[in-house]
């Protein structure tokens, strides 16, 4: 930069570096500490932060392998972490797929078709998403309690019920995909229609293949969003083998049964892949959203 | 075209099938005494059929699944919450009147007057069960009496019992006509081993009476406890006491006002709201929790902005190297799933086993009670939330800083301004305006930041001397959750009423925000 630099510039730069490194240290310490705790024998804070003795007991338990202690007692894994992880992935995968499906078709209508009440519906959607699901937990519980009386496979304590409960949260996704569709020239589909394609064929075979990048972004966003969702899942799922990771993890740190080391291993095991996916998605989000944000 | 015919036929029969299933469902819900729910399902399926079968605008065919999902699972629950706020819906008043009545009518008790004693007898590897009228063991010594008893006794075919897997129905045969030899009865300790199998068994006598296990030596027929009267009241058959549904309290009550569990759901008007405003026991903690919610959200905005903006400005300084590395590392707290990082802090802050107190103890010899002391707990909540929230503000500010023209800084450098002057005279005034609506969104988000409170403190430490458990770190939504789903009797009605109040607060915040955003947009 063409700014005239002062004499003490070098000191300032040095101070800034030092400050930033200290801050990074403080901010990342909790994350590093968890990795260290997961490798430390025992469930209580003993000794130093850097483990003097590496023990894989917590990792074995997190992976569902029983551990033999020195005095011969066999410790069974306290919680079915892998099962919870699988529940979370299953629910999030199915939900994200359905969310992409229904928000893509809705976004297509908003981007390309003319119909009455268009702006009313669009504004209504945005208005609705101001109110988080936490505010309607009682009603969500009551609704699924009632549904369960008639369709037991869709009631409380079922994964199908939870998936269906998540399907309402599509407003932002519709908005994102709509923005992307509007950047694609409408002429391409019109050519297809001139060649005799129906609306559905033009959408399915022309527009959809071009929108794959944004659909992947929306899929990942929805997927991560549901993996970390706590309130609705905690209301609809109660039984241990049924829980998602977000609901189950809390059981490690109850005062009656405090399993700090076991929690640390389970947290690293499940947190690392989700963090990686999120960081990867971030890159897509930036490119995807800037591409979609420019309205035609 | 043969194939098209066939496809047509398939499409229509599928449609007809779906229609039949939905009608069956609607009818099922209706006949279970839920006409409004049945009407709702009927309206939704009818709309689906109309959208997909009529020649109306086909745009709605693309919209229908998404809009229906939002209407049913977002809009409807919000409205339904408001409606529940006007009822006494709770764990004591969980069922509708129809279901509560059906529940009571289903209740049975053992009819002790028609009970029969039973004995178990070994029969090879299996067992025979003998039922006899109640009598003293001494009576059996009298041959005539024994003959009479035998005439009224019944015997089962050999049963597996202990090894049995499913509930069994046993047809009993008159003992008198049975020619099999029956050995000595098994001692009680042997009988108890078969208790589970016996409890699952139903014995059917030749006259059609059905008996169930009712004690270690007895089987008895079940009889109804309640009988329904024409006016909807219930009569207890034992003592002919009449219980009438009271639509004010939501319970079946007798003349003396004694209540019968379970209660049922009734509308109680504004009672839940009156409780918030006028019940001193409830209002005290409620107002404190409301105040903390506002303080918590506001301080979170201030702290995250302070940290996030400072970092954004520093990392915008071109003389600094490795800025991308710093940015990525400082962004990490945002990328870790929040439910994991919050729980990690819950563990790190633990008073006795946590690493934070270990470090503080080693350095200063103190072990603060982060979870027991109200002020410390609130401080901890704010520390954790700042850690969680600053990366978002940092990213926002980084974006906004790019829009600040560089020549302003050149001009100020020529005038000899220091970095702090630059920040307060140029940077801050320029980015604060576009930042304000975003900060209000952060405020609104934290106003309802249920996950943080639920996973970090559960709202604890609790206020002392409150009727409903209420915590010093509880924010309104987590308090609502506690009332509805935790320790205080699952009072859904009250929780829904509070949710409705929060609903209006959130709406107000958003309205202010939209106004501000509009003012900003108009100025540009």
* B496–A contact, CB cutoff 8 A: yes
Q: Which of B32, B57, B330 sits opposite A149 (nearest CB)?
A: B32
Residue numbers in B near A271 (CB within 8 A):
336-337, 340
Residue numbers in A near B455 (CB within 8 A):
230, 250
Sign of CA dihedral B352, B357, B361, B364: negative
- CA-CA distance, B247 to A160, in Å (whole number)? 36
Verify whether the Cβ–Cβ distance A169 to B57 is below 8 Å.
no
How many Cβ atoms from other residues are within 10 Å of residue B252's Cβ?
25
pLDDT in tens, A230-239: 999 999 998 8
CA A256 from chain centre, in angstroms, equals 30
- CA-CA distance, A249 to A51, in Å (whole number)? 23
- CA-CA distance, A160 to A120, in Å (whole number)? 31
Shortest distance between the Cα of A219 and any Cα of chain B, in A, equals 15
* B24–A contact, CB cutoff 8 A: no
| DSSP-assigned letter for residue A229 | -
Q: Verify cis geometry, omega within 30 degrees of 0, for the bond prior to B262.
A: yes
- CA-CA distance, B498 to B476, in Å (whole number)? 8
Tokens of B229: 């009267």
Let me know: does B405 contact B320? Beta carbons within 8 Å.
no
How high is the pLDDT of residue B467? 80
Of B254, B250, B230, residue with least CA distance to B242 = B254
How high is the pLDDT of residue A294? 34
Q: Following DSSP, what letter does each residue of chain A receive, concatenated?
A: --PPP-TTHHHHHHHHHHHHHHHHHHHHHHHHHHHHHHTSSSSS--S-SS-SS---HHHHHHTT--EE-TTSPEEPPSS-HHHHHHHHHHHHHHHHHHHHHHHHHHHHHHHH---TTHHHHHHHHHHHTTS-GGGGHHHHHHHHHHHHHH-GGGSTT-HHHHHHHHTT--HHHHHHHHHHHHHS-HHHHHHHHHTT--HHHIIIIIIHHHTHHHHHHHHHHHHHHHHT--HHHHHH--SGGG--HHHHGGGGEETTEE-HHHHHHHHHHHHHHHHHHHHHHHHHHHHHHHHHHS--
Shortest distance between the Cα of A270 and any Cα of chain B, in A, equals 9
> How does strand B154-155 pair with strand B173-174?
antiparallel
How high is the pLDDT of residue A284? 65
Verify whether the Cβ–Cβ distance A136 to B507 is below 8 Å.
no
Residue with tokens 């039984």: A239
Of A189, A180, A192, A208, residue with least CA distance to A289 = A180
The H or E element that residue B494 is part of is: helix B492-523
Q: Could you tell me the pTM of the whole model?
A: 0.82
How high is the pLDDT of residue B256? 82
How high is the pLDDT of residue A286? 53
Let me know: does A104 contact A147? Beta carbons within 8 Å.
no
| H helix count then E strand count, chain B | 20, 14
Interface of B with A in 358-377 (CB under 8 A): 358-359
Size of the A and B interface in Cβ pairs below 8 Å: 254
Q: Which residues pair with B399 in a beta bridge?
A: none
pLDDT more than 70, % of chain A: 90
How many Cβ atoms from other residues are within 10 Å of residue B387's Cβ?
20
Residue with tokens 């992947």: A216
Whether A1 has a pLDDT exceeding 50, the answer reads: no
As a dihedral over the C-alpha atoms of residue A15, residue A19, residue A21, residue A24, rounded to 10 degrees, the angle is -160
How high is the pLDDT of residue A285? 60
How high is the pLDDT of residue A230? 94
Verify whether the Cβ–Cβ distance A168 to B70 is below 8 Å.
yes
| B477 three-class SS | helix
Q: Where are the beta strands (DSSP E) in B124-256?
A: 126-132, 154-155, 169-171, 173-174, 202-204, 210-215, 218-224, 226-228, 234-236, 242-246, 251-253
Residue with tokens 């790019």: B402
Residue A182: phi, psi to the nearest 5?
-70, -15
How high is the pLDDT of residue A291? 42
How many Cβ atoms from other residues are within 10 Å of residue B422's Cβ?
17
How high is the pLDDT of residue A296? 31
How high is the pLDDT of residue A288? 45
Choose between B190 and A226: higher pLDDT.
Answer: A226
Verify whether the Cβ–Cβ distance B320 to A130 is below 8 Å.
no
How high is the pLDDT of residue B499? 93
Verify whether the Cβ–Cβ distance B338 to A228 is below 8 Å.
yes
| B206 three-class SS | coil
| DSSP-assigned letter for residue B217 | T
Verify whether the Cβ–Cβ distance B77 to A140 is below 8 Å.
yes
What is the overall mean pLDDT for chain A?
A: 84
Verify whether the Cβ–Cβ distance A31 to B344 is below 8 Å.
yes
pLDDT, mean of residues A190-208:
86
Residue numbers in B near A43 (CB within 8 A):
353
Q: Which of B76, B329, B450 sits opposite A134 (nearest CB)?
A: B450
Let me know: does B61 contact B52? Beta carbons within 8 Å.
yes
Verify whether the Cβ–Cβ distance A170 to B496 is below 8 Å.
no
Of B490, B131, B92, B445, residue with least CA distance to B293 = B445
Residue with tokens 């019920």: A161
How high is the pLDDT of residue A90? 95
pLDDT in tens, A80-110: 888 999 999 999 999 999 999 999 999 999 9
**Angle made by CA atoms B349, B351, B352, in degrees to the nearest 5:** 120
Let me know: does B272 contact B85? Beta carbons within 8 Å.
yes
- CA-CA distance, B287 to B293, in Å (whole number)? 10
Shortest distance between the Cα of B206 and any Cα of chain A, in A, equals 37
* B329–A contact, CB cutoff 8 A: yes
Verify whether the Cβ–Cβ distance B336 to A31 is below 8 Å.
yes
Residues contacting A9, CB < 8 A, separation 6+: B319
Residue numbers in A near B337 (CB within 8 A):
224, 227-228, 246, 270-271, 274-275, 278
* CA-to-CA dists, residue B119 to B129, B191, B201, angstroms: 6, 8, 14
- CA-CA distance, B478 to B457, in Å (whole number)? 10
Of B341, B369, B339, B332, residue with least CA distance to B450 = B339
- CA-CA distance, B198 to B160, in Å (whole number)? 11
Residue numbers in B near A16 (CB within 8 A):
314, 317, 320
> How does strand B169-171 pair with strand B202-204?
parallel
Shortest distance between the Cα of A280 and any Cα of chain B, in A, equals 10
Tokens of A285: 């989000």
The CB-side HSE value for A189 (13 A sphere, CA atoms) comes to: 24
* ipTM, interface predicted TM-score of the complex: 0.89
> How does strand B218-224 pair with strand B116-123?
antiparallel
Residue numbers in B near A109 (CB within 8 A):
59-60, 62-63
Residue numbers in B near A235 (CB within 8 A):
485
What residue spans of B54-92 are helical by DSSP H? 59-70, 76-84
> How does strand B259-260 pair with strand A253-254?
unpaired
pLDDT along chain B (524 residues), means of 10: 70 87 86 81 88 80 89 90 90 82 84 82 81 79 79 81 71 72 78 80 82 83 84 82 84 83 85 87 89 96 95 87 89 90 92 86 90 94 95 90 84 83 86 88 92 92 85 93 81 92 91 83 68
How many Cβ atoms from other residues are within 10 Å of residue B461's Cβ?
18
CA B372 from chain centre, in angstroms, equals 27
Of B146, B117, B151, residue with least CA distance to B134 = B117
Q: Which of A84, A92, A139 to mutate to test the interface with B (most CBs of B within 10 A)?
A: A139
């Amino acid at each position: 930069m063409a700014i005239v630099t002062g004499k003490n510039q070098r000191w300032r730069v040095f101070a800034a570096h030092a400050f930033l490194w200290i801050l990074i240290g403080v901010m990342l310490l909790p994350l590093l500490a968890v990795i260290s705790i997961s490798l430390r024998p025992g469930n209580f804070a003993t000794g130093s932060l850097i483990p003097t003795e590496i023990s894989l007991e917590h990792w074995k338990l997190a992976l569902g392998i029983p551990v033999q202690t020195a005095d011969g007692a066999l410790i069974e894994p306290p919680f079915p972490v892998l099962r919870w992880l699988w529940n979370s992935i299953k629910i999030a995968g199915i939900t994200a797929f359905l969310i992409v499906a229904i928000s893509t078709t809705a976004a297509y209508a908003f981007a390309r078709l003319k119909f009455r009440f268009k702006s009313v519906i669009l504004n209504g959607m945005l208005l609705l998403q101001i109110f988080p699901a936490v505010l309607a937990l009682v009603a969500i519980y009551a609704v699924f309690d009632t549904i369960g009386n008639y369709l037991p496979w869709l009631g409380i304590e079922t994964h199908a019920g939870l998936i269906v409960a998540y399907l309402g949260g599509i407003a932002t996704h519709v908005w994102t995909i709509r923005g992307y569709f509007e950047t694609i020239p409408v002429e391409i589909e019109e050519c297809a229609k001139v060649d005799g394609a129906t609306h559905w064929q033009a959408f399915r075979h022309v527009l959809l293949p071009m929108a794959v990048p944004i659909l992947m972004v929306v899929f990942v966003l929805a997927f991560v969003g549901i993996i970390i969702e706590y309130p609705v899942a905690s209301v609809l799922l109660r039984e241990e083998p049924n829980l998602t990771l977000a609901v189950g993890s809390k059981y490690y740190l109850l005062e009656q049964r405090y399993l700090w080391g076991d929690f640390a291993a389970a947290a690293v095991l499940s947190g690392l892949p989700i963090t990686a996916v999120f960081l990867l998605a971030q890159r897509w989000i930036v490119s995807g959203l800037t591409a979609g944000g420019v309205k035609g | 075209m043969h194939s098209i015919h066939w496809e047509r036929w398939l499409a229509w029969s599928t449609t007809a099938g779906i229609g039949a299933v939905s009608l069956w469902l609607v009818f099922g819900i209706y006949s279970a005494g839920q006409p409004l729910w049945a009407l709702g399902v009927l309206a939704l399926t009818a709309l689906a059929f109309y959208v997909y079968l009529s020649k109306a605008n086909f745009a709605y065919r693309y919209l229908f699944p998404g809009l229906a999902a939002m209407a049913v699972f977002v809009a409807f629950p919000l409205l339904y919450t408001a409606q529940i706020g006007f009822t006494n819906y709770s764990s004591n008043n969980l069922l509708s009147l129809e279901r509560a009545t059906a529940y009571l009518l289903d209740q049975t008790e053992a009819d002790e007057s028609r009970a029969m004693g039973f004995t178990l007898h070994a029969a090879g590897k299996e067992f025979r069960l003998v039922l006899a009228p109640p009598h003293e063991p001494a009576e059996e010594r009298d041959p005539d009496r024994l003959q009479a008893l035998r005439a009224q006794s019944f015997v089962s075919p050999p049963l597996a019992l202990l090894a049995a897997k499913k509930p069994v129905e046993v047809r009993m045969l008159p003992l008198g006509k049975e020619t099999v030899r029956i050995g000595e009865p098994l001692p009680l300790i042997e009988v108890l081993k078969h208790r589970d199998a016996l409890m699952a068994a139903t014995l059917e006598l030749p006259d059609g009476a059905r008996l169930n296990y009712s004690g270690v030596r007895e089987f008895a027929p079940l009889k109804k406890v309640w009988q329904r009267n024409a006016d909807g009241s219930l009569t207890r058959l034992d003592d002919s006491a009449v219980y009438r549904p009271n639509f004010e309290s939501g319970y079946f009550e007798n003349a003396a006002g004694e209540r019968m569990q379970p209660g049922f759901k009734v509308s109680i008007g504004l009672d839940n709201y009156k409780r918030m405003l006028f019940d001193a026991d409830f209002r005290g903690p409620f107002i404190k929790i409301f105040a903390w919610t506002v303080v918590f959200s506001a301080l979170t905005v201030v702290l995250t902005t302070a940290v996030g903006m400072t970092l954004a400005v520093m990392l915008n300084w071109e003389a600094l190297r490795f800025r991308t590395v710093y940015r990525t590392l400082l962004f990490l707290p945002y990328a870790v799933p929040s439910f994991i990082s919050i729980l990690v802090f819950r563990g790190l802050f633990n008073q006795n086993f946590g690493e934070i107190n270990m470090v503080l103890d080693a350095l200063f010899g103190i072990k603060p009670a982060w979870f027991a002391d109200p002020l410390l707990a609130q401080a901890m909540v704010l520390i954790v939330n700042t850690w969680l929230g600053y990366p978002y503000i940092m990213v926002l500010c980084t974006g906004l800083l790019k829009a600040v023209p560089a020549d302003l800084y050149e001009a100020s450098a020529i005038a000899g301004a220091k970095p702090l002057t630059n920040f307060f005279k140029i940077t801050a005034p320029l980015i604060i305006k576009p930042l304000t609506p975003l900060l209000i969104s952060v405020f609104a988000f934290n106003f309802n930041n249920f996950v943080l409170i639920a996973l970090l403190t559960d709202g604890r430490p609790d206020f002392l001397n409150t009727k409903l458990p209420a915590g010093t770190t509880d924010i309104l939504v987590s308090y609502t959750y506690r009332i509805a789903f935790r320790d205080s009797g699952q009072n859904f009605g009250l929780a829904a009423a509070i949710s409705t109040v929060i609903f209006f607060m959130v709406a107000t915040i958003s309205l202010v925000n939209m106004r501000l955003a509009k003012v900003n947009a108009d100025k540009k």
